[in-house]
A and B are shown apart, each in its own frame.
Chain A
Amino acid sequence: MATTGTTDTTRALTSVDEAALAGQIRVAVPEHSLRSDLRAVSIVWRRELIRFRRDRLRTITSLIQPLLFLLVLGTGLSSLAKGSMPPGVSFKAFIYPGVLAMSVMFTAIFSAASIVWDREFGFLREMLVAPVSRSAIVIGKCLGGATIATFQGIVMLALAGLADVPYDPVLMITLVGELLLLAFTLTAFGVMMAARITQFQAFMALTQMLVMPLFFLSGALYPLTGLPGWLSVLTRIDPLTYVVGPMRHAVFTHLNLPAFAQQALSPGITWAGWVVPIGLSLGIVAVMGLIMMGVAIVTFSRPE
């Protein structure tokens, strides 16, 4: 009791003359506001960038698999595909949009996996206990993952020449935009999964299990026309289809092809014969990303 008395006196003193006494820097954490949430989004986002910059090895290793698909599979299959390709179009150019999507896919999912990692190493708790809304943290994480995955896509985009795709500025900007959208949705998907799956091994196993089917069903390696019914339905369910299609459309409109060739290689996505417009296609992806991010926010907002 005596001790408390003394502390009380000290308290009174310090509050009167705080700065002078101990060189105390006055800090008052402000009320929760939109601004504080934006600041939180920004720092969570920046952390992803700092960590990405430190991890150069990841940038390189993430390139290997897409490059294998593009150069080895693309070159190997091109002789087989020659017959059905119009003159002047390589099979590599055909699968290039899919390979771009693939490079983004791995980085996006991997960056979401860092949430599981953060949980294991405790850092997630530092974020979850902060006086900001959980949505700020989830949004920051999704944007951060989207940004670094897009960077990864841009590295792959720089190699467009290998696939005989021209470095047209409009094409490049269109593709970056589409990659960003894809990266965001995939990160949101990863974050949603990471909100529930607490073990790193399980997370990686599950996402790996989903990533390849998503890729193969997206029409990244074959045109979506003339498929058997079951496959046709599956490709239309795969969200990746709705990004690969528009990206292929962008690539092929910049290849100066006759209309019939373009129609054959990039017919667009059809729902029972109706061609889904590019805008709607990308809109579907964006809405899915937002929904998954919403689910992630709800999951993280639930306390124990």
Chain B
Amino acid sequence: MAARGPHGTGPDGSGQVDGAGGVDGTDEHRPTASDVAGASGPGLAAGNGHSPPPAITVAGLTKNYGEIEAVRGIDFEVRTGETFGFLGPNGAGKSTTIKILCTLARPTSGSARVAGHDVTAERDAVRRNIGLVFQDTTLDNYLTGAQNLRFHADLYGVPTAAVAPRMRQVMEMVGLWDRRDSLVMTYSGGMQRRLEIARGLLHAPRVLFLDEPTVGLDPQTRSSIWEYINELKAREDITIFLTTHYMDEAEHCDRIAIIDHGKIVAIDTPEALKASVGKDRVQIHTSDDPAAIAELKRDFGIEAGIHEGAVTFSVTGGEQFVPRLFAGFSVPIRSVSVSRPSLDDVFMSYTGKTIRDAEATGADAMRQMVAHFRGRR
């Protein structure tokens, strides 16, 4: 399995970031990238032996923008028919990776194959086989919904006879057939996103890329977009690659890769990742947080940190731990909560911070990658 275990065995806290940074830092980076790039040829040949070849194969991929290393040597494989999620905070390298896979950006080093074609050497072949829904809308507001799709069909060379029925099919799938002749500028945000999904599917791609498909939408629209995506999986023979920074959305994926600072820190099914944490998350509100953290370390050997305004740490058997904590704790505790591992905890366990912390420091996403230390807070 490609997934690496959680870093260290100690409880997670602010100290963990240093450890993670050291392990995933430049020391390990170079050998990983070159090893896998060298092995990619034979690896692929082996892959062809199995019945469906992987939909996406990425080996030793890096991308630098000047000084900034947006992607720092990643390897993964997406199986045909799978829904694969890229989970990470803004600026972690998700969009850069998707851009490379969609042939919009050239990798600095490493290689990637999508639907059996190399993204640098066979750009057209890749493009014919992928559908794209970008984070920002890419519709022409001055055209109607149907005209936008028509444009796409002609650009992608959808056989003329198939255009009309296929347009109807995808528009009905996202519930926009009745609005096909309205200008896109009259559509709501959710409708525009649905139209983009319909458009991305129009040419029956083998791999559909969704870059933050629900960002900027209200919760209700978000869940309806997911209904469409799930229906789509049932109806179309398609591999979905999506990026998200919403933990709850990652649960929809068959497998997820957690990406942080341009590196993949874990890949597995959401269940397996949660199981790998094996610890409950405890959050306590106290009247003196620094003292509480110090006491937790002294008396229990637990590294706690402050996340979301509460002293937060992970322990095995959280419910049993809380009575012990209350028995001998000198700092007054105002409230306590124990939660089963969620993807948030998985994220925290692998990166040493919650995704919201990572987001908070990443207002300027690029700067965040350069200024690692700010993530520690």
Q: Give A contacts to B, CB under 8 Å.
A: 1, 3-4, 7-8, 10-11, 14-15, 18, 22-32, 36, 39-40, 42-44, 47, 50-51, 54-55, 118, 121-123, 125-132, 303-304
A136 to B: closest C-beta gap in Å: 9
- Assess whether A7 is in contact with B81, with CB atoms less than 8 Å apart: yes
- Chain B residue numbers with a CB within 8 Å of A129 are 102-104, 127, 132
The 5 tightest CB contacts between A and B, nearest first, are A7-B81, A43-B154, A122-B138, A131-B127, A27-B204
- Assess whether B143 is in contact with A51, with CB atoms less than 8 Å apart: yes
Q: Whole-angstrom distance between the alpha carbons of A31 and B152 in the complex?
A: 16
Is B129 an interface residue when CB atoms closer than 8 A count as contact?
yes
- Assess whether A27 is in contact with B158, with CB atoms less than 8 Å apart: yes
- Assess whether A25 is in contact with B162, with CB atoms less than 8 Å apart: yes
- Assess whether B156 is in contact with A304, with CB atoms less than 8 Å apart: no
Interface of A is mostly: helix
- Assess whether A8 is in contact with B52, with CB atoms less than 8 Å apart: yes
Subset of 16 A-B contacts with CB under 8 Å: A3-B269, A8-B80, A8-B81, A23-B169, A27-B202, A29-B203, A40-B155, A43-B150, A47-B147, A47-B151, A122-B136, A122-B138, A129-B104, A129-B127, A131-B127, A304-B105
- Assess whether B124 is in contact with A32, with CB atoms less than 8 Å apart: yes
From A29, A125, A304, B134 is in contact (CB under 8 Å) with A125
Q: Whole-angstrom distance between the alpha carbons of A43 and B52 in the complex?
A: 36
Is B159 an interface residue when CB atoms closer than 8 A count as contact?
yes
B208 to A: closest C-beta gap in Å: 13
Q: Which residue of B lies closest to A54 (CB)?
A: B142
A11-B81, A29-B156 known; A123 vs B162 contact (CB < 8 Å): no
Q: Interface 1/0s, chain B 127-153, versus A by CB < 8 A? A: 111001010111111110001001110
- Chain A residue numbers with a CB within 8 Å of B220 are none
Q: Whole-angstrom distance between the alpha carbons of A118 and B136 in the complex?
A: 12
Count of chain B residues with a beta carbon within 8 Å of a chain A beta carbon = 50
A46 to B: closest C-beta gap in Å: 8
- Assess whether A132 is in contact with B155, with CB atoms less than 8 Å apart: yes
Q: Which residue of A lies closest to B63 (CB)?
A: A304
A27-B204, A47-B143, A50-B147 known; A121 vs B137 contact (CB < 8 Å): yes
- Assess whether B156 is in contact with A128, with CB atoms less than 8 Å apart: no
- Assess whether B154 is in contact with A125, with CB atoms less than 8 Å apart: no
- Assess whether B105 is in contact with A36, with CB atoms less than 8 Å apart: no
Q: Whole-angstrom distance between the alpha carbons of A299 and B154 in the complex?
A: 23
- Assess whether A11 is in contact with B162, with CB atoms less than 8 Å apart: no
B93 to A: closest C-beta gap in Å: 14
- Chain A residue numbers with a CB within 8 Å of B24 are none
- Assess whether A123 is in contact with B235, with CB atoms less than 8 Å apart: no
B310 to A: closest C-beta gap in Å: 35
Is B237 an interface residue when CB atoms closer than 8 A count as contact?
yes
Q: Whole-angstrom distance between the alpha carbons of A40 and B158 in the complex?
A: 11
- Assess whether B124 is in contact with A131, with CB atoms less than 8 Å apart: yes
- Chain B residue numbers with a CB within 8 Å of A40 are 154-155, 157
- Chain B residue numbers with a CB within 8 Å of A128 are 104
Q: Whole-angstrom distance between the alpha carbons of A181 and B310 in the complex?
A: 70
Q: Whole-angstrom distance between the alpha carbons of A32 and B166 in the complex?
A: 21
| Chain B positions 267-311 with a Cβ under 8 Å from a chain A Cβ | 269
- Assess whether B157 is in contact with A303, with CB atoms less than 8 Å apart: no
- Assess whether B137 is in contact with A4, with CB atoms less than 8 Å apart: no
- Assess whether A8 is in contact with B51, with CB atoms less than 8 Å apart: yes
Is B376 an interface residue when CB atoms closer than 8 A count as contact?
no
Q: Which residue of B lies closest to A3 (CB)?
A: B254
- Assess whether B254 is in contact with A4, with CB atoms less than 8 Å apart: yes
Is B79 an interface residue when CB atoms closer than 8 A count as contact?
yes
- Chain B residue numbers with a CB within 8 Å of A22 are 235-236
Q: Which residue of A lies closest to B65 (CB)?
A: A304
Q: Whole-angstrom distance between the alpha carbons of A157 and B361 in the complex?
A: 60
Most buried by B among A50, A55, A127, A129: A129
- Assess whether A28 is in contact with B204, with CB atoms less than 8 Å apart: yes
Is B99 an interface residue when CB atoms closer than 8 A count as contact?
yes
- Chain A residue numbers with a CB within 8 Å of B147 are 47, 50
| Chain B positions 63-104 with a Cβ under 8 Å from a chain A Cβ | 79-82, 99, 102-104
- Assess whether A50 is in contact with B143, with CB atoms less than 8 Å apart: yes
A58 to B: closest C-beta gap in Å: 12
- Chain A residue numbers with a CB within 8 Å of B138 are 121-123, 125-126
- Assess whether A131 is in contact with B128, with CB atoms less than 8 Å apart: yes
From A10, A121, A126, B141 is in contact (CB under 8 Å) with A121
Is B106 an interface residue when CB atoms closer than 8 A count as contact?
yes
- Chain B residue numbers with a CB within 8 Å of A32 are 124, 128
- Chain B residue numbers with a CB within 8 Å of A1 are 269
- Assess whether B129 is in contact with A29, with CB atoms less than 8 Å apart: yes
- Chain A residue numbers with a CB within 8 Å of B143 are 47, 50-51
- Chain B residue numbers with a CB within 8 Å of A36 are 157
A122-B134, A125-B134, A303-B105 known; A4 vs B81 contact (CB < 8 Å): yes
A12 to B: closest C-beta gap in Å: 9
A303-B103, A303-B105 known; A11 vs B80 contact (CB < 8 Å): yes
A14-B237, A47-B140, A51-B143 known; A25 vs B155 contact (CB < 8 Å): no
Q: Whole-angstrom distance between the alpha carbons of A77 and B123 in the complex?
A: 59
Q: Which residue of B lies closest to A1 (CB)?
A: B269
Q: Whole-angstrom distance between the alpha carbons of A126 and B156 in the complex?
A: 11
From A10, A44, A118, B81 is in contact (CB under 8 Å) with A10
From B81, B105, B156, B162, A131 is in contact (CB under 8 Å) with B156
Q: Whole-angstrom distance between the alpha carbons of A235 and B366 in the complex?
A: 48
Is B41 an interface residue when CB atoms closer than 8 A count as contact?
no
B235 to A: closest C-beta gap in Å: 5
Q: Whole-angstrom distance between the alpha carbons of A32 and B235 in the complex?
A: 28
